[in-house]
Structure 1
Amino acid sequence: MDTPAHDNTATPARRALDALADNTEDMAALHTLAISEVLVPVPDDVDEADAADPAAVALPVIEQPGGEPTVPVFTSEPAMAELLPFVHRYRLVPLGALAAQWPADDLALSIDAGSPHPLTLTSEGVRTLLAQA
């Protein structure tokens, strides 16, 4: 049961995802999303020193059912805990900064997977839509 303290719809990034569910070409929502900070889970195999290094962010990569490697990020702690309850460390990263340095390979980005309005972008989509902020 959701309580007001766990209501992740209040964040600007969450509202942007909801708006994009209705209109995928909503440039204001894309801009809001691009300037928002997201929670990037820190992989278990990353030590504390590397996890705290502000110059580097280790991307957690999971395999989607179709085999596409995907990096999950979240707009709030409750959204992350719902899908990845075992994750206890994360970094707050501006989504636009993450997108500006996105790898050129076929690595997708999934924002709030498991929520009512998730957004998954291809590698090209990440670089072209979100790096413009």
Structure 2
Amino acid sequence: METPTRHHTATPARRALDALAGNSEDPAALDVLARSDVLVPVPDDVSDADAGHPSTVALPVLQEPDGREAVPVFTSESELAGLLPAVSRYRLVPLGALADQWPTGDLALTIDAASPHGLTITSEGVRNLLARPYEY
């Protein structure tokens, strides 16, 4: 049996997103995703000093078509460029650590929003499904 080419170059996070498209509660895929690094775009109004601070991350917030607010993150530079080509800076952050510090409220998380394997998770889902304490 031949494996499609895209699986040879897909990151573990992207393969986890593919698995979650078929079963949104797949615990193994959620664990892989939570332990993966994601690219978080740095908003234009954040200074270089703040953007590089190791213990804080400025979250860019976009309004979804349905009116919800979501933070976009990406599994690769090509996914980032596909949706936000004007973004020139990003931070590489462990998704589980980001989820562990996720703000309360209705702020959703969108992973690879413009791709077929994109996933949007509610604020509660981020904290319950993806939070992993970050070990320094």
Instruction: Give the TM-score of the pair, scaled to structure 2.
Output: 0.90
Q: Equivalents in 2 of 1:7, 1:78: separation in Å?
A: 15
Could you report, residue by residue, the CA deviation over 1:11-30 in whole angstroms, capped at 9, with x for unpaired residues? Answer: 00000000111111211000
Equivalent residue letter for 1:13: A
State the identity as a percent.
69
- Give the secondary-structure state (helix, strand or coil) at the position aligned to 1:81: helix
Question: What residue ranges of structure 2 are gaps of 5+ in the alignment?
Answer: none
Equivalent residue letter for 1:65: P
Alignment match, 2:54: 54
Q: Equivalents in 2 of 1:114, 1:40: separation in Å?
A: 15
Question: What residue ranges of structure 1 are gaps of 5+ in the alignment?
Answer: none
Alignment match, 1:92: 92
- Give the secondary-structure state (helix, strand or coil) at the position aligned to 1:72: strand
Structure 1 residue ranges (4+ consecutive) displaced by more than 6 angstroms after TM superposition = none
Contact 1:70 1:110 in 2 (8 A): yes
How well do the aligned residues superpose, as a CA RMSD in angstroms? 1.8
Contact 2:41 2:73 in 1 (8 A): yes
Alignment match, 2:80: 80
Q: Equivalents in 1 of 2:65, 2:119: separation in Å?
A: 16
Could you report, residue by residue, the CA deviation over 1:18-70 in whole angstroms, capped at 9, with x for unpaired residues? Answer: 01111112110000000000000000000100000001000000111121110
Instruction: Give the TM-score of the pair, scaled to structure 1.
Output: 0.92
Q: How far did 1:105 drift?
A: 1.0
How many pairs align?
Answer: 129
- Give the secondary-structure state (helix, strand or coil) at the position aligned to 1:49: helix
